[in-house]
């Protein structure tokens, strides 16, 4: 990922950019919300942003906005929870989860696979390069 893309993404207030799909957060006074406020690593920022744009586009087209209630990493996948929406929102959520299985959580490489570290049992979606650089030496 280009560095400037990453910087642009972290500076965007999601409640301003996507007021309909972040209504749940605005109503609770949790503003501004940035992409790094969610429990995911930076390698997934562009992936998440792409799917937020899909939710927003779907809501504007159909009038059935998915209202995001939580975004987190769960069992090595990008887990997006929402209220409302429609069948298409559900499909978008599943697409995001499925695509996240191939995107490195650390560097955005599209060649990641899931692995469980021997020391903590946590499931990571990580490319070979990040695995070797960040974890392999430390944990084995
Ligand atoms: Zn990586």
Is residue 83 helix, strand or coil?
A: strand
Find the 50 Cα to ligand 1 centroid distance in Å. 19
The predicted structure's pLDDT at residue 134: 76
Q: pTM of the predicted model, to two decimals?
A: 0.90
**pLDDT surpassing 80 at residue 139:** no
Task: Give, in order, the Cα–Cα distances in Å from 115 to each of 38, 58, 101, 109.
Answer: 22, 33, 10, 15
- Banded model confidence at residue 135, pLDDT cuts 50, 70, 90: low
| Inter-residue contact 78 to 100 (CB < 8 Å) | yes
Find the 13 Cα to ligand 1 centroid distance in Å. 26
DSSP string, 18-78: STTTTHHHHHTT--S--GGGSBS-GGGHHHHHHHHHHHHHHHHHHS--EEEEEEEEETTEE
- Banded model confidence at residue 140, pLDDT cuts 50, 70, 90: very low
Find the 99 Cα to ligand 1 centroid distance in Å. 15
Task: Give, in order, the Cα–Cα distances in Å from 82 to each of 29, 72, 122.
Answer: 18, 12, 25
Percent of residues, the chain, with pLDDT higher than 90: 73
Whole-angstrom Cα distance, residue 78 to residue 38?
11
Is residue 2 helix, strand or coil?
A: coil
Find the 12 Cα to ligand 1 centroid distance in Å. 24
Q: What are the residue ranges spanned by the domains of the chain?
A: 3-105
pLDDT 10s digits, 27-80: 999 999 999 999 999 999 999 999 999 999 999 999 999 999 999 999 889 999
Find the 134 Cα to ligand 1 centroid distance in Å. 9
The predicted structure's pLDDT at residue 122: 79
Over residues 95-108, mean pLDDT: 95
Find the 112 Cα to ligand 1 centroid distance in Å. 7
């Amino acid at each position: 990922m280009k560095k400037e893309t990453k910087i642009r993404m972290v500076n965007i207030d999601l409640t301003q950019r996507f007021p309909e799909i972040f209504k749940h957060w605005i109503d609770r006074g949790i503003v501004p919300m940035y992409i790094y406020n969610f429990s995911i690593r930076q390698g997934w920022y562009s992936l998440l942003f792409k799917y937020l744009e899909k939710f927003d586009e779907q809501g504007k087209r159909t009038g059935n906005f998915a209202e995001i209630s939580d975004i987190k990493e769960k069992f090595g996948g990008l887990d997006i929870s929402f209220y409302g929406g429609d069948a298409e929102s559900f499909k978008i959520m599943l697409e995001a989860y499925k695509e996240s299985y191939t995107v490195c959580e650390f560097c955005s490489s599209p060649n990641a696979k899931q692995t469980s570290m021997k020391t903590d049992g946590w499931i990571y979606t990580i490319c070979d390069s990040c695995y070797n650089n960040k974890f392999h030496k430390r944990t084995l």
